[in-house]
Amino acid sequence: MHTELTPRRELALLLTLAGIQFTHVLDFMIMMPLGPQLTALFAISDAQFGLLVSAYTFAAGLSGLLAAFFVDRFERKRLLLVLYVLFGLTTLACALAPTYGMLMLARIAAGVFGGILSALTQTIIGDVIPFERRGRATGLVMMSFSLATVVGVPGGLFLANWGGWHSSFIAIAVACTVVGVLAVWSLPRLDKHVANARGQNMTFAIRGVWADNNHRLALAMSFAMMFAAFTVIPYITIYMQANHILLPTEIPFIYLAGGIVTLLSARWIGTLTDRIGKRKMFQCMLLFSMVPMTLTTLMQPYALPVVLLVSASLFFFMNARMIPGMAFLTSAAQPQFRGAFMSLNGAVQSLSIGIATWIGGVLIQRNPQGQVTHYWMCAVAGIAASVVAYWLAQRVKMHTVEPQAPAA
């Protein structure tokens, strides 16, 4: 059930999807390093700032869940363009928010549209790219995470230091406009799935996904995969600054180093995933990622190159898990339910990020000097979730052959 594209048109499509993912990921990521500015400006606590991060992910999770009821009932291109315009407008609303309450509402709205977009981009990859090249294609699109880290976050912090925190969100809204114009040209019409979805009631998609035990195992694996990462990642900046490991001006180097490493390795990881297998690659990276996860949470005031080496290793292995993991999940879905499955997966991942971030905030403590303690417990939670993901990956089956559409 693939739409045949020329190699050039396929590359243009994948780059456009990467651009959409870039703006969506950056919109989420930029909040974490902006924490010190926002807590000071709005006179809020660390816990209230954490709610800004969690509110976005919970909204994205809820929207992804609701999208499973309708995403397969619409032509993909039109749906994606409408959602992307709304996402850009709500991101602009974040930049214009005058109070903490208004910013919270804007973040929730951005999360609603961003959550569906994330699932829809992965669904389009499954619709267009054949199974044997899906890992490489996913790796190309997932390069957006690296670009958001190496270019987006440092650039956003520079703009925030120069023109205030509003500037970061204005820049993302402008980027959405540019990518949206490219999407109008590069995205093909994708409506072959609609014939199968017509006549289904609103609960058919959810029932179809949830009735399949393989889908349930894959969603549980996805939850564990994201949980393992986000018990640790949201608190890197807080830990590094509060414990005097890095100066505030040195924080962007964490994202720069991590982003460069993941950017340069993303396509190689995608190719290696297709060569040795999605399951094996995913499980290997799960095991390897436990080492930098532990080292990061035990970091002391070492020389800057040592700190950057450890943090770059963490970003590399987290990305090296995500690329085969997402290709694995896309292939675990039955093709006729792929849109609903990936929407549910987006909801599950967003819910996992929100819960992991909240649990991480509960686990870490502050001593009388204001330093972060018990950060290592976040690594313990992340390692436990990685072990669960490894076990589940052994049991998830992949659909390696797409069913042919019935003859007219």
Q: At what angle do helices 338-363 and 213-230 cross, to 10 degrees?
A: 30
How far apart CA 304 and CA 319 sit, in angstroms, is: 22
* Assigned domain for 174 exists: yes
Contacts of 89 (CB under 8 A, 6+ apart): 173
The pLDDT value recorded for residue 386 is: 96
pLDDT of residue 163: 83
Q: Is residue 403 part of a domain?
A: no
Q: Is residue 408 part of a domain?
A: no
**Structure-token match 């809020």, residue found:** 44
pLDDT at 369 over 80: yes
295 pLDDT band, cuts 50/70/90, is very high
Which tens digits make up the pLDDT trace of 94-141?
Answer: 999 999 999 999 999 999 898 888 778 877 877 777 776 767 777 777
Residue 328 · residue 393 · CB < 8 Å: yes
In whole angstroms, what is the distance from residue 65 CA to residue 71 CA? 10
Give the range of the structural domain holding residue 183, as residue numbers without chain letter. Answer: 7-189+202-393
Whether 228 is in a domain gets the answer yes
Model confidence over 153-194: pLDDT tens digits? 888 888 887 888 899 999 999 999 999 998 888 777 765 655
Mean pLDDT, the chain, as a whole number? 83
pLDDT tens digits, 22-44: 998 899 888 888 877 787 788 87
In a domain, 2, yes or no: no
Q: What CATH number is attached to the domain comprising 237?
A: 1.20.1250.20
Least Cα distance to 52 among 169, 180, 159, 147 occurs for: 169
Establish if 369 belongs to a structural domain: yes
197 lies in some domain: no
Residue 203 confidence (pLDDT):
67
Q: What's the structural domain count of the chain?
A: 1
What's the whole-model pTM score?
0.76
Q: Is the pLDDT of residue 47 over 80?
A: no
* SS3 of the chain: CCCCCCHHHHHHHHHHHHHHHHHHHHHHHCCCCCHHHHHHHCCCCHHHHHHHHHHHHHHHHHHHHHHCCCHHHCCHHHHHHHHHHHHHHHHHHHHHCCCHHHHHHHHHHHHHHHHHHHHHHHHHHHHHCCHHHHHHHHHHHHHHHHHHHHHHHHHHHHHHHHHCCHHHHHHHHHHHHHHHHHHHHHCCCCCCCHHHHCCCCCCHHHHHHHCCHHHHHHHHHHHHHHHHHHCCHHHHHHHHHHCCCCCHHHHHHHHHHHHHHHHHHHHHHHHHHHHHCHHHHHHHHHHHHHHHHHHHHCCCCCCHHHHHHHHHHHHHHHHHHHHHHHHHHHHHCCHHHHHHHHHHHHHHHHHHHHHHHHHHHHHCEECCCCCEECCHHHHHHHHHHHHHHHHHHCCCCCCCCCCCCCCC
Who's near 276: CB < 8 A, 6+ residues apart? none
Which tens digits make up the pLDDT trace of 197-239?
444 554 676 777 888 899 999 999 999 999 999 989 888 888 8
Identify whether 325 is part of a domain.
yes
pLDDT above 50 (res 254): yes
Express as a percent the part of the chain with pLDDT over 70. 89
**CA 307 – CA 300 distance, rounded (Å):** 8
Q: What percent of the chain has pLDDT over 90?
A: 30
Q: How many other β-carbons are positioned within 10 Å of the β-carbon of residue 7?
A: 7
Give the chain's radius of gyration (CA, Å). 20
Residue 269: pLDDT over 50: yes
